[in-house]
Structure 1
């Protein structure tokens, strides 16, 4: 005689359910390249044609881009690229956009290389051991130095190569972490969890591969590398205006430099 519970499905724990959901998300994300080919802005309009709040924000995004480059609409600014939504999308998108912008502005190349070289000292001052970061640093510096002799297609191929692309992501994570640690007195009061230290926050939220980024990570990276960035948020809220978050390394940069333009879509 069988038990009445013999045919019942086993109950999953919350942890198992979360792990299963994450597995599905990871499998879906892996179908997308780390960095994609360019697409026209019209592809966004087509994607969201049945979703008016999103569509309105896409149109605002196009207007914002036109203003950001002072009316000089180049092909690259009529287009966008998707990055894999694997939790590293900010650091990857930031890095690719920065490297790509240097191809279009070679006069900034030498300054960028010197800034990258100085990041090793920043990491040491932030408490990192050279052995822990030197491989990521070497790959990132090598890719940056190749920009003036390579072409956009090669840059894309390199960022689609996991070993190279993920090394750059890790270096950028370490740079942001080191900056926050060095300036802990300034940023620790803004931590969402009061009982956590800046070192714990950096270990859990900044240095951890695949962890989503928030304002502190973005602020730290823009200040550490002296690179302004605008992040345009597309979401499903009823507000017709797409929220544009501006991150400037310092007040002097405002109005004098063209920020990187990144587009954030929750869940994408």
Structure 2
């Protein structure tokens, strides 16, 4: 048999991507969906050999003390947002009634956007059930964490927020479609491929839409390899939110990944 005949067939681009994704998924399985909060110094240790990142992390220490990591499975933005939102209401019960009403109103948004109840009701029911338990937990974050570490519960909440984000984008297509000129796809195609699909990473469009849909401001601190000493801060404020009265959910972004920052 010749050497040419013995050569293994080359992998297609799709097979290579699937292989790389499988490696990422296996790596992600090693940590919980949502972790215990840990000192920010752990992030310094993680980037001890990366000077641009390390410099920015050290400069966070004046205003931030802890980080809560989420599994890097492509759902980290939605999971981090959900946990940070639930936790903020858990610790500030005066906001419970308003936020509960907001959550319940998402079914109206989904129906107006054309989603069938059968598609979202199971995810919504789990999300609502978990939210309604917050007053009973009396500020106990460990109970919240235990539920968010359950794949059945946590993933249902993620999917509900994905549908809410998609519904908002679809209902405001004229506003958001211009951002998709480079991709040359419609807002419907974008939502189907990048928002409603479980495990797809999120960017500014998803953050802006979810922030507006739930009327919840978000602050994202971006770590990158630039020469700046301080990490860039991006704030997403819903148009009808009074900034002086509401504290934004605070997330930290590293290329391809979101965690919660305290």
Which TM-score band applies after superposition, normalised by the shorter structure? over 0.9
CA distance in structure 2 between the aligned counterparts of 1:225 and 1:61, rounded to whole angstroms: 28
Superposition deviation, residue 9 in structure 1: 3.0
User: Is 2:12 aligned against 1:13?
Assistant: yes
Q: Separation in 2 of the partners of 1:249 and 1:23?
A: 37
Note if contact 1:113-1:144 (Cα within 8 Å) is conserved in structure 2.
yes
Distance 1:4 1:105 in 2: 70
Alpha-carbon distance between aligned partners in 1 of 2:256 and 2:191, rounded to the nearest angstrom: 23
User: 1:105-184 alignment to 2 at 5 Å?
Assistant: 105-150=92-137, 151-184=140-173
Q: Residue deviations 1:208-253, cap 9 Å, x none?
A: 1111101111000000101001011112222222011100012652
**CA distance, structure 2, for counterparts of residue 27 and residue 85 of structure 1:** 10
Does residue 88 of structure 2 align to residue 101 of structure 1?
yes
Q: Write out the 4+ residue segments of structure 1 that deviate beyond 3 Å after TM superposition.
A: 192-195
Q: Secondary structure at the match of 1:210?
A: coil
- Give 1:237's match in structure 2, choosing from 226, 234, 237: 226
Structural RMSD (CA): 1.5
Q: Which runs of 5+ in 1 are unaligned?
A: 67-76
Q: 1:120 offset after TM fit, Å?
A: 0.5
Contact 2:201 2:256 in 1 (8 A): no
If the length of structure 2 is used for normalisation, what is the TM-score?
0.93
Determine if contact 1:56/1:241 at 8 Å carries over to the other structure: yes
Bigger RCO (CA 8 Å, 6+ sep): 2
Higher mean C-alpha deviation, range 37-46 or range 187-196:
187-196
For these two proteins, the number of residue pairs brought into alignment is 255
Q: C-alpha distance in 2, partners of 1:228/1:187?
A: 18
> Which SS does the other structure have where 1:61 is aligned?
coil
Query: Structure 1 length normalisation: TM-score?
Result: 0.91
In structure 2, distance between residues paired with 1:24 and 1:252: 41
Where does structure 2 lack aligned partners over 5 or more consecutive residues?
258-262
Paired position in structure 2 for 1:57: 56
Deviation at 1:196, TM superposition (A): 1.6
